[in-house]
Structure 1
Amino acid sequence: MSKPVYLGKLTLFWCSSCKVPVLDGKCACGQKTEKMTITPPGDIRPAFPYDVNRINEVSRKQFGADMIRPDEIVLYNKAPYEDRMEEIICGGVILGTIRFETEKTEWVLMPRIEGARRICNTKTFTPEKMKSGELKNLIVLNDDAVPYVAEGTSVLVPGIYDVSDNISAEDEVIIITKKGEVVAAGRAKMSSEEMRNEPRGKAAKLRWKGTPADETSPEYRDDAESGFFSAPRTWDDVIAANRNILDTFERRSIDFIRNTAGNMDKRVTCSYSGGKDSLVTLCLTNKALDDFDILFSDTGLEFDETLENVRKVAEIYGKPFRTTSAGNAFWEGWEINGPPSVDNRWCNKMCKLTPITALIEDNYAENGCLTFIGQRKYESLARAKSERVWRSQAVPNQIGAAPIQDWTALHVWLYIFREKLPYNPLYEKGFDRIGCWLCPAASLADFMNLRITHPAYMAGLDEKLRPYAEDKGNPEEWIRYGFWRFGKLPPFMQHIAEAKGIITGNPAADAPAEKTGE
């Protein structure tokens, strides 16, 4: 198991009085909060209705019931994984994890005990519902097996009383008592048929275990009455609980902007990309200073929604707007270099660095400029190690500064909601970060989401990639699984390549540096 990646303090707490998440040890109501244990780096963010709908769709597909109500506050915490994985946080606990399994090309929900109890409990479970398939992927234990499984023992065939139909090996399962109390959750190691017919063997391996909840006891009575769902809350409630924290972070960032700008004899600018972090940085810069320019560099691979948002935001703020575009440079570069990959991102210089360098040379050649940028340390190790003020090596004549370096994504989003800032609507369509739509560093989950939200983009990309697949005799799966994103295949992609008869990753990834401009 890889070591946890800590990029900053883990700042998620829970106020048991207000029943909302808080970003510090004290809620605005005055009550001390309880720190939550989450997977680092802990760049928590709101789960939008699109995200919650996906969770519930997967929950219904796997288990036959929703896991979240529409009136609950839900957070996502992105966890390290080969593709994309999110911890689901609601009601002060982690309900489970949803991850995109590459080989299956689908989302899989892995509930913890708290999430499983929402799906199945004594109020929702009946043997008839399990037999009819209304509730799915359940293993019912014999009474004498319950204490052993509750202590963490794998589910063995002799300990099974009943089982749902149509369970396949490697499906996620919920393990319950005969009354419907959740004992554990894990992954099946046998099919339903094998569990019924084999005399012995390991039927399921546990991920999470717990003592069955006595739903009539004072400890669980209120939770059981609500079906283990949390109290209805709104984002306004969360903002109110975090108002002191937001005020503090805002004040510190504005002081940083004023001090940094006051100590440099350079024209002040603020970079706006159409993303959430640069939007908050722009708002803070506007509160701190009267006179500055807004910079925007169009890579030629921006979403239509991004271009519209940038136009709208520039109009709202009314500052001098300096813009540049790479035009068709990416597609011209594709004809020479082939598709970019994580091993060979020839597009970075061509579409990002060269245009912004030219923009700054054209407008600030005499003395350069100071640019406030929406960089945050929770995004990556490189950004966590970055100074808060730096001289750009890639873009001469520019000094960069990061006012929101210490903000998590939840700080950013609560500030956006409080200030009613015009954020990019793509965040409400399953995207957690917004940049070039064709970036090879994006997850396969993001590209699969693009097939839903922007099918024309993906149809065009498929056509561009098809000759590279055919040239090596690769099947259509070379495109579908995103093999073009890699030169040297990571282990999980090597496994899929062997299973699908894929010959290679991206043949352009071995192109010489002189050719690609790297």
Structure 2
Amino acid sequence: MREPAVKKTLYWCRECNVPLIGKTCRCGAAGVEIPIQKPYDLRPALTHDHDLLRSLLLERYGTDHLPQVVLFNKSSGVDRTEVIIANGVEFGRLSYDPAEHAYTLDLSQDALRFLAPFITKGIVDITAEAEEQGFGNRRLGGKKVMVKTGISEGPVVVRMKDLLGVGQLHDGGVRVRQIGKVEPESPPDPSWGEVVRVNVPLLKNLERTAIRFIRQHMNDRPKVNVSFSGGKDSTVSLELARRAGVTDVFYVDTGVEFPETVEFVRQCGIQVVIHGKDFWKEVEKNGLPRKDNRWCCERLKLQPVKEYLSGRGPCVTVQGNRWYESFSRSTLPGVIENPFNPLQLNISPIRNWRALEVFLYLWWRKVPYNPLYDMGYERVGCYLCPAMLESEAARTREIHPDLAGYWEAYLVAWAKKRGLSRRYIDLGLWRWENPPPKMCELAGRCGVSVPKKRQKS
């Protein structure tokens, strides 16, 4: 399969107001290009996230006017950071602050074209102050205008005469990011069902190519199976593999899975469930699992699978790995011998799909997926995974306070033994043996000491 032409670009049909997975809409209109950011993995804002955006809009700006079709483009940050794409423009930015345990929604200038008529709060009129402070007709972008207002600090809409803009209110002043004439627009508000409909021809091509790829390699070894995790990517791979004629499927239960995942696996009819090592015994022997020391993957997943397959002989395993999941997988070949288990030849039929294509395919084929995605999770792994964002950990505390509380108590006891503060755990710093610079900076701002880096032997 060739690398997709849309890898670094999203196409959007202005006529239908829908995202496209190709360059042309089913209506015949050419898509408008929207540059996207690394790692280029666009995904839909599902139920909880859409509700979150609406609540943030309502709280800050007095309106929950948001189109049904909203995309997230994951970006770099201290914790969860998403570029929001809606109505064919970069609509704003959603970010989670682990220090404050709160989300912030920053609107873009383009978002005002769709929101301005509905905004009733969070508006700072700087007309008089700008003139008093000598700005006059000078460009205000990047300038700070001192103001008196009862609005709390954070992102605001800025008004100056007949101009509207966006800015940041902080320390008694507004830093104007951008301002200008705003012409209100009222585009159509299609559903995700309509997005699926206009993209069906390309979804058919993706399916056809993936099935052909599986059939091309499923006989490279005597047996073939599917590795199913309960996540969206392996759900699509399972559907494609079944259409290609593969029937054997296995799932690894690490013992620290979300209850929703365990139930979803049961509903999918997965007959072979492999159980990993006891996590609580392993953590006592190996220490905390970390992002830079994920021994848990080997002990709870890879080793149990290796033992299960050792008595079955060489096999081809269909898996759901994708290029866009992480930088480490961005060069993933379609066919590769598993370095941990040479008996296993791994094939990845959806390696060039983004999360957008994954969800559109699931909706098109009416394939059920793990409910955790609609509950606000980007990824669904173990409920205490170190790769989880602090925003997802906060969501886990809401949904499963018992599971989150048990792990949190363990972490607090672990920190106490090492002379680390409770705040060290609250900020999520336990996730690294050697926290990266951005996390050390966060710790410094919060007055939390970080142990000296461990030297690798």
- TM-score normalised by structure 2 residue count: 0.91
CA deviation vs aligned residue, 1:180-214 (integer Å, no higher than 9, x gap)? x52x22222422xxxxxxxxxxx33343x24222x
Structure 1 position 330, deviation (Å): 1.2
Aligned counterpart for 1:246 among listed residues 203, 214, 218: 203
Gaps of 5+ in 2: none
Aligned to 2:237: 281
Q: Does 1:344 align with 2:327?
A: no
SS of the counterpart of 2:12?
A: strand
Q: Does 1:185 align with 2:166?
A: yes
Aligned to 1:295: 250
Do 1:344 and 1:510's aligned partners in 2 also have CA atoms closer than 8 Å?
no
Range that drifts further, 352-361 or 25-34: 25-34
SS of the counterpart of 1:382?
A: helix
Alignment of 1:47-196 (within 5 A): 47-69=45-67, 72-119=68-115, 121=116, 123-124=117-118, 135-136=121-122, 138-142=124-128, 145=135, 147-149=137-139, 152-157=141-146, 164-168=149-153, 171-178=154-161, 181-182=163-164, 184-191=165-172
Provide the rounded CA distance (Å) in 1 between the counterparts of 2:233 and 2:45: 17
SS of the counterpart of 1:286?
A: helix
Aligned counterpart for 2:329 among listed residues 371, 380, 383: 383
For 1:148, the aligned partner's letter is R
Provide the rounded CA distance (Å) in 2 between the counterparts of 1:438 and 1:30: 47
SS of the counterpart of 2:372?
A: helix
SS of the counterpart of 1:428?
A: coil
CA deviation vs aligned residue, 1:99-118 (integer Å, no higher than 9, x gap)? 11232221111110122454
Range that drifts further, 56-65 or 372-381: 56-65
Aligned counterpart for 1:14 among listed residues 12, 20, 27: 12
- TM-score normalised by structure 1 residue count: 0.81
Structure 1 position 164, deviation (Å): 3.4
Aligned to 1:44: 42
Q: Does 1:30 align with 2:28?
A: yes
Aligned counterpart for 1:313 among listed residues 263, 268, 288: 268
Structure 1 position 474, deviation (Å): 3.3
Aligned counterpart for 1:232 among listed residues 189, 193, 207: 189
Provide the rounded CA distance (Å) in 2 between the counterparts of 1:443 and 1:45: 17
Alignment of 1:316-335 (within 5 A): 321-327=271-277, 329-335=278-284
Asked which structure has the greater CA Rg, the reply is 1
Q: Does 1:392 align with 2:338?
A: yes
Structure 1 position 244, deviation (Å): 1.1
Aligned to 2:348: 402
Aligned to 2:181: 212
Provide the rounded CA distance (Å) in 1 between the counterparts of 2:113 and 2:127: 16
Provide the rounded CA distance (Å) in 2 between the counterparts of 1:117 and 1:101: 28
Alignment RMSD:
2.5
CA deviation vs aligned residue, 1:357-394 (integer Å, no higher than 9, x gap)? 111113x23xx110010011111222121211000011
Do 2:96 and 2:103's aligned partners in 1 also have CA atoms closer than 8 Å?
yes
Do 2:332 and 2:351's aligned partners in 1 also have CA atoms closer than 8 Å?
no
Aligned to 1:357: 306
Provide the rounded CA distance (Å) in 2 between the counterparts of 1:10 and 1:265: 35
Range that drifts further, 32-41 or 277-286: 32-41
Provide the rounded CA distance (Å) in 2 between the counterparts of 1:253 and 1:103: 43
Do 1:8 and 1:378's aligned partners in 2 also have CA atoms closer than 8 Å?
no
Aligned to 1:423: 369
Aligned to 2:259: 304
For 1:464, the aligned partner's letter is Y
Do 1:73 and 1:90's aligned partners in 2 also have CA atoms closer than 8 Å?
yes
Provide the rounded CA distance (Å) in 1 between the counterparts of 2:324 and 2:6: 6
For 2:126, the aligned partner's letter is V
Structure 1 position 31, deviation (Å): 2.0
The number of residues matched between the two structures is 450
SS of the counterpart of 1:334?
A: helix
What percentage of residue pairs aligned between the two structures are identical?
30
CA deviation vs aligned residue, 1:428-470 (integer Å, no higher than 9, x gap)? 0110111112111221111111111221111101111122222
